[in-house]
A and B are shown apart, each in its own frame.
Chain A
């Protein structure tokens, strides 16, 4: 495994790769160096693919920086660790080997982090060590003699604080003046046999005795220990987890009311203003019925999405998520899932696409496939507008034992998603994807106070993504749908609304027959079709379809009261049940195709989800009709 020769002029540093243990702050440092906004969070395995960026050195030169997935050693156990090894050894097709390695080290945990540094040193590549989180280490009374460390490791060592705006200054300065060849470690040849982990650890202990003699061994921070006494407690821990989830879903409804009303009022005002100031005609209809009623009805849900993400980001950044995995591991093990599956599944609450990618941290292929297959059953944020619309329209604003009833129903829908995922996993593991026992071995990282900057950036990014989707995909689909719903125009002397004679109307009636047994009318059936591209589009599509169905000049009513008026409760509940499984999401299927390199899995996924969605909706519809005495 000889590294490919570097093509740069001697002494000219063109590219560096950030390498280190999981969760030591590589991506935070990468973002600081390159101005990028890659996702950071406080758990292992956030970065699963290598990322490129450009840093500007103090002297004006630019430098390519490669961010790599974290790894515990150079013997990769998972697909994401494999990526790291391939890049630093230059085995990645079409990519130059980076000129130098920046070994990012968590200063609060040298005992573990230095093993990888020693292993990296054995590769014989130019390397420097970035001692990250030195601020936290100092606050804990860990004093590290960086000069001695540099002497022991035979390479430059700089201190960094990746969560501070100028925390990379020393690293940049070092990179700018780093004479590539002179800075190379004094290792003549890579060892023939890599040293055993035990030998590495002996060396680490020796170095630690020299550079940080007073560092307390075998001790976690006292605050962490006392917090974990509660958070990991068999009873209190589960109660805390349940309470947290509860607060999230209550907040999604109770905090969002005011901003949602403002957006709704704004949209209604915009619609009325446009109607009043434009001549009657197709363009006005396109703007009012297509754009404002369609895309606007999705935009209303922005506050709820942001509240959900606020909690997700806080939980991610604090280090709580792996603890939740600890508490729920029994359940995961019982259905045959790897404990590692928890974090990809959790990411899927935001969107199944990153969730599917995050399964790269799972070593066993069959375990990974099972996790991928159930990832879309986690309620992704795109489903929130659909849930919120239907709950807002059909579930009364009441308190039940002190809880907001709407929040309770939303909570129940999320639970239904998780429960069905567990059931599906259990079945898959038994009949299709049998695998041997899978260990957990999950790091529970130190708690961190969520950074306001990360939080603000994360929320801003979410808001941008959502508004962009509304402005692009959703808007475009609404225009197409408006066209299909308006043409061909109604024949002379027609009695019903014009939409019934259009392409979409005909398609809706045809699909309506398929969905009639589960209580969907033709309007819902139409809305499901553009929902293929993005689930929340279904809401916008209902907005357009109903706006166009409104007879005459009457300004379209708000969507929620309109469907509350025209659907039965059974239909609404049936649609909610359908969306728990929601088989239609092209981006997820494409991601599964990409990750598995086969059509087999995305097809199986779409198939089982469709069957389950139809069955669940059918049962819900019939049961509700029966209970309501229909």
Chain B
């Protein structure tokens, strides 16, 4: 199975986090570490619930038992294995 980006998952899709990796210059290592501290860690189950008005961002994402709002830029740094 090939890894996809969390940002590219359709609404409602379940997946498992594969890796958190920088994607472009906008997020630095602190931001990436924070994503991990929020629970975006390899092996954790995620689900994209829905996207905000306009259909692009932010994304409402369940990771573990917690719901977070992420902008596209963050969601592009999270590689997932679709379930």
Q: Enumerate chain A interface residues (CB-CB to B < 8 A).
A: 72-73, 75, 77, 108-109, 111-112, 115, 197-198, 201-202, 205, 217-220, 224-225, 228-229, 232-235, 237-238, 322, 325-327, 329-330, 333, 339, 363, 436-437, 439-446
Q: How far is the CA of A229 from the CA of B50 in the complex (A)?
A: 8
CB-based contact B64/A75 at 8 Å: no
Partner of A198, one of B41, B46, B50, B67: B41
CB-based contact B71/A73 at 8 Å: no
A337 to chain B, nearest CB (A): 12
User: B22: CB under 8 A from chain A?
Assistant: no
List 28 A-B residue pairs with CB atoms under 8 Å apart, sorted by A's residue number. A75-B37, A109-B64, A111-B64, A198-B41, A202-B43, A217-B64, A218-B62, A218-B63, A220-B65, A224-B67, A322-B69, A326-B52, A327-B53, A330-B53, A333-B57, A333-B71, A339-B58, A363-B30, A437-B27, A439-B31, A439-B74, A440-B58, A440-B74, A441-B34, A441-B70, A443-B69, A444-B69, A445-B67
CB-based contact A197/B33 at 8 Å: yes
CB-based contact A220/B58 at 8 Å: no
Given A218-B45, A329-B58, A444-B69 in contact, is the A115-B37 Cβ separation under 8 Å? yes
CB nearest to A215 among chain B residues:
B65
Interface size on B, residues (CB 8 A): 42
Q: How far is the CA of A439 from the CA of B70 in the complex (A)?
A: 7
Q: How far is the CA of A205 from the CA of B65 in the complex (A)?
A: 13
Majority secondary structure, B binding face: mixed
B41 to chain A, nearest CB (A): 5
Given A219-B65, A234-B53 in contact, is the A197-B60 Cβ separation under 8 Å? no
CB-based contact B60/A443 at 8 Å: no
Residues in chain A near residue B37, CB distance under 8 A: 72-73, 75, 115, 197
Given contacts A197-B36, A217-B65, A443-B68, 7 further A-B contacts (CB under 8 A): A112-B66, A198-B41, A219-B65, A220-B65, A237-B53, A363-B30, A439-B71
CB-based contact B65/A329 at 8 Å: no
CB-based contact B64/A326 at 8 Å: no
CB-based contact A111/B60 at 8 Å: no
User: B47: CB under 8 A from chain A?
Assistant: yes
Q: How far is the CA of A326 from the CA of B60 in the complex (A)?
A: 8
Residues in chain A near residue B55, CB distance under 8 A: 234
B80 to chain A, nearest CB (A): 13
CB-based contact B69/A326 at 8 Å: yes
User: B9: CB under 8 A from chain A?
Assistant: no
CB-based contact B50/A232 at 8 Å: yes
B69 to chain A, nearest CB (A): 5
Residues in chain B near residue A322, CB distance under 8 A: 69
CB-based contact B68/A442 at 8 Å: yes
CB-based contact B36/A339 at 8 Å: no
Q: How far is the CA of A318 from the CA of B21 in the complex (A)?
A: 35
Partner of A108, one of B49, B65, B73: B65
User: B4: CB under 8 A from chain A?
Assistant: no
Q: How far is the CA of A41 from the CA of B63 in the complex (A)?
A: 23
Given A72-B37, A111-B64, A325-B69 in contact, is the A436-B52 Cβ separation under 8 Å? no
Most buried by B among A108, A112, A233: A112
Residues in chain B near residue A228, CB distance under 8 A: 49-50, 60, 67
Partner of B33, one of A75, A109, A325: A75
Q: How far is the CA of A441 from the CA of B70 in the complex (A)?
A: 5
CB-based contact A437/B52 at 8 Å: no
8 smallest beta-carbon distances between A and B, as pairs: A218-B45, A437-B26, A111-B64, A73-B37, A197-B36, A444-B67, A234-B53, A72-B37
Residues in chain A near residue B45, CB distance under 8 A: 217-218
Partner of A112, one of B64, B70, B71: B64
Partner of B54, one of A75, A108, A330: A330
CB-based contact A72/B34 at 8 Å: yes
CB-based contact B41/A201 at 8 Å: yes
Partner of A441, one of B46, B47, B53, B68: B68
A202 to chain B, nearest CB (A): 8
Q: How far is the CA of A220 from the CA of B64 in the complex (A)?
A: 9
Given A234-B53, A234-B55 in contact, is the A112-B39 Cβ separation under 8 Å? yes
Residues in chain B near residue A325, CB distance under 8 A: 69
CB nearest to A142 among chain B residues:
B65
Q: How far is the CA of A224 from the CA of B65 in the complex (A)?
A: 12
User: B18: CB under 8 A from chain A?
Assistant: no
Residues in chain B near residue A220, CB distance under 8 A: 62, 65, 67
CB-based contact A198/B42 at 8 Å: yes
Q: How far is the CA of A68 from the CA of B13 in the complex (A)?
A: 37
Q: How far is the CA of A72 from the CA of B64 in the complex (A)?
A: 15
A205 to chain B, nearest CB (A): 8
A557 to chain B, nearest CB (A): 49
Q: How far is the CA of A602 from the CA of B33 in the complex (A)?
A: 34
Q: How far is the CA of A268 from the CA of B9 in the complex (A)?
A: 65
Q: How far is the CA of A219 from the CA of B49 in the complex (A)?
A: 11
A80 to chain B, nearest CB (A): 14
CB-based contact B26/A442 at 8 Å: no
User: B35: CB under 8 A from chain A?
Assistant: yes
Partner of A436, one of B26, B35, B49: B26
A299 to chain B, nearest CB (A): 41
Residues in chain B near residue A201, CB distance under 8 A: 39, 41, 43-44
User: B38: CB under 8 A from chain A?
Assistant: yes
Residues in chain B near residue A237, CB distance under 8 A: 53
CB nearest to A331 among chain B residues:
B53
CB-based contact B71/A339 at 8 Å: yes
B11 to chain A, nearest CB (A): 10
Q: How far is the CA of A153 from the CA of B61 in the complex (A)?
A: 29
Q: How far is the CA of A439 from the CA of B65 in the complex (A)?
A: 21
Given A234-B53, A326-B52 in contact, is the A440-B33 Cβ separation under 8 Å? no
Q: How far is the CA of A26 from the CA of B53 in the complex (A)?
A: 33
